[in-house]
Structure formats: C-alpha cells, structure tokens
Amino acid sequence: MREFIKPAVFLLAMVPFVLLLVRALTNDLGPDPAQELSIETGEWTLRFLLATLALTPLRQLTGQPEFVRNRRMLGLFALFYATVHLLVWMTFILGFRWFAIVEEIVERPYITVGFTAFMIMVALGLTSPKAMVRKLGKNWKRLHRLVYVAAVLGVVHLLWILRTDVSEAVLYGSIVFVLLGYRFIQYLNKKRRAVA
C-alpha cells in the first residue's frame, strides 16, 4: 500500500499541468491565453510551495512520517510550475525579447521579487538530491530554510500584480503566516526548553 503513495502523489501533481496543456492545445484558454496561463501556473506554484511547507507540521502533528517522504517531490513540483510560469511570461507576454526580459526583471519590483523567489527555488532544486544533502551536511538545512523566503516573496509577487481584488493574495498570505508562525512558536519553545 505504502509504495503506491509516492506515484499517486506524482500523478496527482501532474494533473493541473496536463489539464492546462490540453486546454492550450484545444485552444480553450480564451482569447488571451498568456494571461490565463500566467495566472494558473503562478497559482499552482504557490499552492505547491505552501503544500511543501505544510508537510513538516503535518508530520509532527499526526506522527505520520509519510508526509515528509513526499516533501522533496512537492518542492520540485513547485519549481516545475514556476519554470512553466516563467516560460509563459517570457514567450507569450514578452515575445522572447531578451532586452525586455532583462529590463523587466531589473526594473519592475514585482518581477524582481518573483524572479528572486524563482532563483531560490532553483538553488533548492539543484541541492535536493540525496548526494547533495550528504555533501552539504549541516549547511543543507540552513540553505533550505530559504524556502520560507521564497514563499513570502511569492505572495508579495502576487499581491503586487493584482489590480483591485486582493482576496486571493490575502488567503495565500494567511496560510504562509500560519505555517511560518507554527515554526516560530516551535523555535521559541525549543529555546525555552534549552534555557530551562
């Protein structure tokens, strides 16, 4: 039973991508597919990032180690959706004009923020194989705490592009707040125990 969980999570995580691909190929994304694809892939990136962050607390609260066994995979899926998001933006919105892409990343704060989050995720993705975990030792954990920064930057990136309705950014922001707050409280408890 247990050996099926991982493949099942993998297949499930592919579903949004496959659905988007089918809609794109059948011309079912409306007149402005760039907009639709950007919104969808951006949101799935955030969702996978938040899901990844939720696994450690879930393991601790339920005592089920299975949660953490899927953590690396969900993190890599966040990176996967972020990559598609970036590619959609580069091709459909900026028409692959390199000067424009660079200029946007440098000059437009919400894009700088989003791109920084992406670079963090790339670094975490590259150091995710077991060999890298062993090689980096103690530093691995330190490096991978940057995922908190990526999540916060992701929400800021979303908040910044919205024109009027901020409800979604508020929802994702609250989840990040709870997930990071949980860790902060744990950190305080640990410290208190150490002092006592």
Partner 1 sequence: MLIKKPSDIKPSEITPESVYKNRRDFMFDGGKALLGAAAASTFPRIANAQDGDALRARAPAAMRRSPPAAWWTEKFQSIKPAPDSEPFFTGEALTPYEDVTIYNNFYEFGMDKSDPATRSGEFKTDPWSVEITGEVGKPGTYHLEDILKPHDLEERIYRLRCVEAWSMVIPWIGFPLADLINRFEPTSNAKFVEFETIVDAETMPGINSRFAIVRWPYREGLRMDEAMNPLTFMAVGLYGSYLPAQNGAPWRLVVPWKYGFKSIKSIVKINFRETQPDTTWEDLQPNEYGFYANVNPEVHHPRWRQDMERRLPQTLFSRRVIETRKFNGYGEHVAHMYEGMDLSRYY
Q: Which of 58, 73, 93, 136 binds partner 1 (CB under 8 A)?
A: 93
DSSP state of 164: S
- Tell whether residue 40 is a contact of partner 1 (CB under 8 A): no
CA distance 51 to 54: 5
Question: What is the DSSP code (8-state) at residue 89?
Answer: I
Determine the angle formed by the axes of helices 109-126 and 98-107, rounding to 10 degrees. 100
- Does residue 100 belong to the site contacting partner 1 (CB under 8 A)? yes
State yes or no: residue 110 binds partner 1 (CB under 8 A): yes
Neighbouring CB atoms inside 10 A of 13's CB total 20
Print the binding letters for residues 62-91 with partner 1: x by CB under 8 A, - otherwise: -----------------------------x
**Binding-site member from 33, 56, 73, 116 for partner 1 (CB under 8 A):** 33
| Residue 32 phi, psi dihedral angles, 5° rounding | -120, 70
Q: Which of 17, 140, 148, 160 binds partner 1 (CB under 8 A)?
A: 160
Identified binder of partner 1 from the candidate list 167, 192, 193, 194, rule CB under 8 A: 167
Kindly tell me which residue out of 16, 17, 35, 72 binds partner 1, with binding defined by CB under 8 A.
Answer: 35
Q: How far is the CB of 57 from partner 1 (least distance, A)?
A: 31
Give every CB contact of residue 9 below 8 A, 6+ residues apart in sequence. Answer: 70, 73, 74
Q: For partner 1, which stretch binds (CB under 8 A), given 30-38, 79-87, 148-156, 179-187?
A: 30-38
Stretch 3-22 residues interacting with partner 1 (CB under 8 A): none
Shortest separation between residue 20's beta carbon and partner 1, angstroms: 11
∠ CA(104), CA(109), CA(113), 5° rounding? Answer: 95
User: Does residue number 148 form part of the binding site for partner 1 (CB under 8 A)?
Assistant: no
Q: Which residues of 55-94 are buried (b: 16+ CB within 10 A; e: fewer)?
A: bbeebeeeeeeebeebbbebbbbbbbbbbbbbebbbebee
Instruction: Give the binding site for partner 1 (CB under 8 A).
Output: 24-25, 27, 30-35, 91-95, 97, 99-100, 103-104, 108, 110, 160-161, 163-167
